[in-house]
Amino acid sequence: MLNGQLLEEAMQRACVIARRGPADTPNPQVGCVLVDAAGRIVAEGWHLGSGTPHAEIAALATARARGVTDFSELTAVVTLEPCNHTGRTGPCVAALKAVRIGAVAFGSTDPGALSGGGAGALAAAGIPVKAGVGKLSTDVLRSDWLRRVGGGSKTGNLGGAAGADALSRPYTIAKWAQTVDGRAAASDGSSQWITGAAARADVHLRRAAADAIAVGTGTVLADDPSLTARGVNGELLVPAREQPRPVIFGKREIPAAARVNSHPAGAPIRKHGTDLLKDLNELKAQGINTLFVEGGPTLISALLALNLVDECLIYIAPALLGGKRHAIGDIGVESIAEIKRFSAVETRQLGDDLLVRLVMKEALGVYGAD
């Protein structure tokens, strides 16, 4: 079995490609990548909708087309537990066993009474299985499907797994980079680059898994961001049509020549930001299920103050800036009794920098359906 970081990175990719499948059918969006012992992706696949091959089957077919005949050293990394029943297609468990896959890692369990139980069947066949890899991200991916199918229907008895109080707004991630003393910019306003290349690469991988990237007009005017998910050489990490949509909060006009106006996924979605909950609900209605908020401090602080942030990604550089340019501002906390508590889900070293990932306890309650 691969180490935890390689599995997490592979799962990020699986979440990205899962979104290529339809989001309005009785079937969930699922992605699968096959990786070798070094964590390199050998093949990948995603589910295209009811009656089509499941993600695991699609990935195996791609691998065979590329000449792979020995699967014993490969790990299948899947966003959802492989199914263990025959419906309109055959069981993925049987296909994985047939090729003698080396190991299987998945994020969320399949709660279906008929389709679930794949992990146990794989383990019984002697295949190493690791559950819960990138679970929060895969639970978010799975959540709309669970709400769609409700308490039964074509996936078997899901019971209360869908959660009656599921959020009507996107799962909202606030990301910022800061120094160890909590500053996001120098006194003159310059901020590029606080963190190093490894941290920036991680940000772009996470951007690619989101439906939209949001900033305030202040960030557009100060930094002229492109708001795309890119590789280390500036290439698009995912095709233009799959790039996260750009969203701009604020009333100020932005220059016609701003790079965001040439975004490959289309023109920016504009929101005034005077009623952030209403804005987020409208984004959800437009099909944006995951919103990646990149700044600036004014927008992120306003969302935090209203308890509209589910997750924080804080990239911390081992450096000091001092001054008044704090990464976040007033978030509505007047006393220690009002402190905003998160659950620390992950810390990761990225080059010289540290990523701290925090998730609101309420978000874990909504999305952690297992």
Query: How far from 147 is each of 26, 49, 117, 142, 182, CA to CA, in Å?
Result: 10, 17, 21, 9, 39
State the pTM of this model: 0.78
pLDDT for 161 equals: 30
324 within 8 A of 187, measured Cβ to Cβ: yes
Residue type, 141: L
pLDDT for 241 equals: 87
Higher pLDDT, 109 or 160: 109
Query: How far from 273 is each of 43, 252, 276, 280, CA to CA, in Å?
Result: 42, 11, 5, 9
Q: For 325-338, what is the mean pLDDT?
A: 89
Q: For 242-259, what is the mean pLDDT?
A: 94
pLDDT digits (tens, 9 = 90+) for 174-184: 999 999 998 88
Give yes or no for residue 120 having a pLDDT over 90: yes
pLDDT digits (tens, 9 = 90+) for 4-13: 888 988 998 9
- Cα 233-18-204 angle, rounded to 5 deg: 25
Q: What is the mean pLDDT of the chain?
A: 86
Higher pLDDT, 343 or 248: 248
CA 307 to chain centre: 20
Cα 214 from Cα 280, distance rounded (Å)? 11
pLDDT for 167 equals: 58
Percent of the chain scoring above 70 in pLDDT: 89
Strand, coil or helix: 94: helix
pLDDT for 365 equals: 61
Cα 22 from Cα 125, distance rounded (Å)? 32
Query: Which of the given ranges, 99-108, 111-120, 187-196, 223-232, has the highest pLDDT on average?
Result: 99-108
Strand, coil or helix: 258: coil
Percent of the chain scoring above 90 in pLDDT: 54
pLDDT for 360 equals: 80
Give yes or no for residue 88 having a pLDDT over 70: no
Q: Which residues are known catalytic residues?
A: 56
Give yes or no for residue 155 having a pLDDT over 90: no
Residue 139 pLDDT class (50, 70, 90 cuts): confident
CA dihedral over 144, 146, 148, 154, signed as positive or negative: positive
106 within 8 A of 1, measured Cβ to Cβ: no
Report CA Rg, the chain: 21
Phi and psi for 311 in degrees, rounded to 5?
A: -150, 140
Q: For 140-157, what is the mean pLDDT?
A: 58
Cα 279 from Cα 73, distance rounded (Å)? 47
Contacts of 278 (CB under 8 A, 6+ apart): none
260 within 8 A of 243, measured Cβ to Cβ: no
Give yes or no for residue 95 having a pLDDT over 50: yes
Give yes or no for residue 148 having a pLDDT over 70: no
Give yes or no for residue 370 having a pLDDT over 80: no
329: DSSP letter:
-
pLDDT for 242 equals: 87
Scanning 229-370, the segments in alpha helix (DSSP H) are 276-285, 297-305, 361-367
